[in-house]
Structure 1
């Protein structure tokens, strides 16, 4: 992350919308660079970028591909998908930090960037802690500890919206707290099932604070 004002890369092919995002974030004090397609995004991406906001549907290169390039190059930046595409099972394996559905308001966007650009003290950046610190992610994890479930079954078990379930599955996946496998039903249809993938998770922090989860509930 850069030492000065946080630097945000906006990747959005709707120019008016991208320019509006840029205006909002500049008024909030951020340095902003904008790209209207995937190729331009990769040209503008460098070590100065702290936060990248990606649309999933872009000309030339999809947001998912840009995300893979960012993670593959080990860029130290947070990534949020800001898109009109409803999340489905395919997002569980994607390495984003947040998933925001359009339309997005000014306050919602600036709060998102504020959160993603805030550096945590050393030792607190941990995907397991991120997952266990989220109440809805914990609810999904506890349900999966009882038995493997599809996303639809997890919606029924938790009472959460499908969009929320997919986002929390992504969070749990990044913390290596769940695994998935493809299941074929009697009609030949394919779907993903998810299961808690740990017997004991222990996160130790400074000051002796610790968080534990045990799939047996003990």
Structure 2
């Protein structure tokens, strides 16, 4: 790796775990910073930080709020939400880059950091193109062409994990390709269901240039 090593900010209120993650990340060749609470994490954020490993359930300032601040202030870094629980419905609305569930092993963490730190943005930046470039996102979009499905139902149909489904729903939502609705089941519980939003997918290739793609054609393998 060159001298211009990426800097990874690790945010977790479990100090031993944060320190262990920092050790693993440094072994992978990256610089690290650690923060054990949200306030310290926000203070540690600057233009040198390339990747943030962010625990969602922090005391005082929650991980979701820190993520909002990062996006609101246009901090140029990738964010992986790290949590000990399966994702809830609201995770679809968050602007994270990756979502992982603890416990993380060293090889998995190293692979995650490498992917986030060394991902070079495409010359053409379009959320629709990004979403359709992911085979799993295309599969989810294909299954949502008919009836609306919950994340649980979509996971069952595709065979993907719930975490994988929520990550793809997030990218499809950011691309404006799906819509959600709240449904009440027979027991009176509320849950979110999703379906494809448009008949034609519009992709911006460059200023003034667009292509329109039929969604069923776009998601075929």
Residue 143 of structure 2 is aligned to residue 137 of structure 1: no
SS of residue paired to 2:191: strand
Q: Secondary structure at the match of 1:145?
A: coil
Tell me the residue number matched to 1:45.
45
Aligned-partner SS, 1:146? coil
Q: Distance in 2 between matches of 1:125 and 1:26?
A: 31
Q: For residues 182-217 of structure 1, what are the alpha-carbon distances to aligned partners after superposition, in whole Å with 9 as ceiling and x for unaligned?
A: 2234554322121112222244769xxx99752355
Number of residue pairs matched by the alignment: 213
SS in 2 for 1:147: coil
Task: Tell me the distance in 1 between the aligned counterparts of 2:16 and 2:187.
Answer: 46
Runs of 4+ in structure 1 displaced over 6 angstroms? none
Q: TM-score under structure 1 normalisation?
A: 0.87
Q: Partners of 1:14 and 1:211 in 2: how far apart?
A: 48
Quick one: distance in 2 between partners of 1:87 and 1:58?
15
Q: 1:215 to 1:41 in 2, by over 3 A?
A: same
Which residue is equivalent to 1:8? 8
Match of residue 194 from structure 1: 194
SS at 2:144's partner residue? helix
Calculate the TM-score normalised by the size of structure 2: 0.86
Shift of 1:83: 1.6
Give unmatched runs, 5+ long, in structure 2.
none
Cα distance change of structure 1 residues 121 and 137 upon mapping to structure 2, 3 Å threshold? closer
Cα pair distance change 1:169/1:8, threshold 3 Å: same
Structure 1's 154 and 17: CA in aligned 2 closer, same or farther, altered over 3 A? same
Q: Which moved more, 1:180-189 or 1:107-116?
A: 180-189
1:109 deviation in Å? 0.9
Task: Please give the alpha-carbon distance, in whole angstroms, between the structure 1 residues aligned to 2:138 and 2:37.
Answer: 36
What residue is the counterpart of 2:62 in the other structure? 62
Instruction: Measure, in 2, the Cα distance between the counterparts of 1:160 and 1:213.
Output: 25
The root-mean-square deviation of aligned C-alpha atoms, in Å, is 2.4
1:101 and 2:105 equivalent? no
Query: Is 2:71 the partner of 1:71?
Result: yes
Q: Partners of 1:75 and 1:29 in 2: how far apart?
A: 23
Single out whichever of 176-185 and 119-128 deviates more from structure 2: 119-128
For the 8 Å contact 1:88–1:163, the answer to whether it is kept is no
CA distance in 2, matches of 1:65, 1:119: 25
Give structure 1 stretches of 5+ with no counterpart.
none
Q: How many angstroms apart in 1 are the aligned matches of 2:108 and 2:156?
A: 28
| Greater Cα offset, 112-121 or 75-84 | 112-121
